């Protein structure tokens, strides 16, 4: 059984984490396949949005702990795994010049929670939850957790989530501003597909530029951000989709964006 399922339909590349018996925990093979799927999403101009979800009752339980041999006495170096798998994955999700929708269908724990948070629009099933499981096993939140959490929910809540490792319900995650929206379980996938299809029919180039702007904002002064907006707006204004958007507005019709 493939650990990652990939399906392309009407501009949306749907990527499903598929190790349901392990709550879709990551092993190196799954990392490799996910990397390849995201590369496909980047390379193929027909792909204009990505939908990431999980098979079974979980979204992703982070690193597969069965892969870690802790029986010896030699120090264990996890930086290799972080440096070669998790960090490139988060960077890739953030830099992908196409919107990434994440449908968190069940529990998202450890790196699984933070990989969801690295996506552009995070939807969750009402029964889902987010667990910063790291401190439970003596680790530090990784996959961008220490960066995303304080920015999304503030330091007090970030510290509580990280130190206590308690499950945050999907509803609280929405209320706290950690994610975009919660749906009843049965509605999650249809709603996520609808949203991904809407984004796939949008001004892809403009979306890529706005991702760049928002992702840069956390590290920029207002001065630097204004300069960046000016430069990105120059690129957006030079796109075919900008001409189409303004023409459609003037002609009182729906725009047909080509993503160029
Ligand atoms: O090592 C490195 O490369 C460093 C990078 C680290 C990144 C990380 O992600 S570290 C954090 C790793 N993840 C965790 O610590 C989470 C461990 N899992 C849990 O805490 C719980 O399973 C959940 C809160 C996610 C869900 O709880 P629950 O009660 O709904 O399910 P369960 O019964 O615990 O799990 C169901 C099955 O999935 C179970 O298998 P079994 O007993 O039915 O055969 C369980 O062992 C398996 N499973 C769940 N999480 C993992 C896992 N197997 C391997 N690795 C897991 N992470």
pLDDT, average across residues 202-227: 97
Q: Which of 28, 61, 62 to mutate to test the pocket of ligand 1 (most atoms within 8 A of CB)?
A: 61
Please report the DSSP string for the chain in residue order: --SEEEEEETTEEEEEE--GGGTT-B-HHHHHHHHHHHHHHHH-TT--EEEEEESTTEEE-SB-GGG----SSSPP-THHHIIIIIHHHHHHHHH-SS-EEEEE-SEEETHHHHHHHTSSEEEEETT-EEE-GGGGGT----TTHHHHHHHHH-HHHHHHHHHH-PEEEHHHHHHTTSSSEEE-HHHHHHHHHHHHHHHHTS-HHHHHHHHHHHHHHTT--HHHHHHHHHHHHHHHHTSHHHHHHHHHHHTTS-------
Atom of ligand 1 nearest to the CA of 167: 24
- Bridge-based pairing state of the strands 49-54 and 100-104: parallel
d(CA 101, CA 49): 8
Q: Which two tokens stand for residue 2?
A: 């493939």
- pLDDT band at residue 133, thresholds of 50, 70 and 90? very high
Determine the distance separating the centroid of ligand 1 and the alpha carbon of 135, expressed in angstroms. 13
- Summarised one tens digit per residue, pLDDT across range 72-112 is 999 999 999 999 999 999 999 999 999 999 999 999 999 99
Per-residue model confidence (pLDDT) at position 243 = 98
pTM above 0.85, yes or no: yes
The chain-wide mean pLDDT, for the chain, equals 98
Per-residue model confidence (pLDDT) at position 73 = 93
Nearest CA to ligand 1 atom 24: 109
Per-residue model confidence (pLDDT) at position 33 = 98
Is residue 176 within 8 A of residue 167, CB to CB? The reply is: no
Q: Which two tokens stand for residue 146?
A: 């220490």
d(CA 255, CA 11): 17
Measured CA angle at 48 (ends 192, 173), to 5 deg:
35
Distances (CA, A) of 90 to 60, 82, 142, 227, 253: 14, 10, 10, 26, 38
pLDDT, average across residues 156-177: 98
Determine the distance separating the centroid of ligand 1 and the alpha carbon of 87, expressed in angstroms. 20
- Summarised one tens digit per residue, pLDDT across range 222-259 is 999 999 999 999 999 999 999 999 999 999 999 999 99
d(CA 158, CA 145): 9
In this predicted structure, the answer to whether residue 1 has a pLDDT above a threshold of 90 is no
Q: What share of the chain has pLDDT > 70, as a percent?
A: 100
Q: Which two tokens stand for residue 17?
A: 């984490």
Is residue 254 within 8 A of residue 239, CB to CB? The reply is: no
Cβ-based neighbours of 76, under 8 Å, separated by 6 or more: 68, 70
Per-residue model confidence (pLDDT) at position 26 = 98
Q: What share of the chain has pLDDT > 90, as a percent?
A: 100
Atom of ligand 1 nearest to the CA of 142: 7
Cβ-based neighbours of 242, under 8 Å, separated by 6 or more: 203, 206, 236
Per-residue model confidence (pLDDT) at position 198 = 98
Determine the distance separating the centroid of ligand 1 and the alpha carbon of 106, expressed in angstroms. 13
């Amino acid at each position: 059984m493939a650990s990652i399922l990939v399906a392309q339909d009407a501009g949306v590349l749907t990527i499903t984490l598929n190790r349901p018996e392990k709550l879709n925990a990551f092993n190196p093979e799954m990392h490799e396949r996910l990397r390849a799927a995201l590369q496909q999403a980047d390379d193929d101009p027909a792909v204009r949005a990505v939908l990431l979800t999980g098979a079974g009752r979980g979204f992703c339980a982070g690193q597969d702990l069965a892969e870690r041999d802790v029986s010896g006495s030699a120090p264990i170096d996890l930086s290799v795994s972080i440096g070669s798998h998790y960090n490139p994955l988060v960077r890739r999700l953030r830099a992908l010049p196409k919107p990434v929708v994440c449908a968190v269908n069940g529990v998202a724990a450890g790196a699984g929670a933070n990989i969801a948070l690295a996506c552009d629009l995070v939807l969750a099933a009402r029964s889902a939850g987010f667990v910063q499981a790291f401190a439970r096993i003596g680790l530090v939140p990784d996959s961008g957790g220490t960066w995303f959490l304080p920015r999304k929910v503030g330091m007090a809540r970030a510290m509580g989530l990280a130190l206590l490792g308690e499950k945050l319900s999907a509803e609280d995650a929405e209320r706290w501003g950690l994610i975009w929206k919660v749906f009843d379980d049965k509605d999650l996938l249809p709603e996520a597909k609808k949203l991904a299809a809407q984004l796939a029919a949008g001004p892809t180039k403009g979306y890529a530029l706005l991702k760049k702007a928002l992702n840069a904002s956390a590290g920029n002064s207002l001065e630097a951000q204004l300069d960046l907006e000016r430069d990105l707006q120059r690129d957006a204004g030079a796109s075919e989709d900008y001409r189409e958007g303004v023409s459609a507005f003037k002609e009182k019709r729906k725009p047909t964006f080509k993503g160029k």
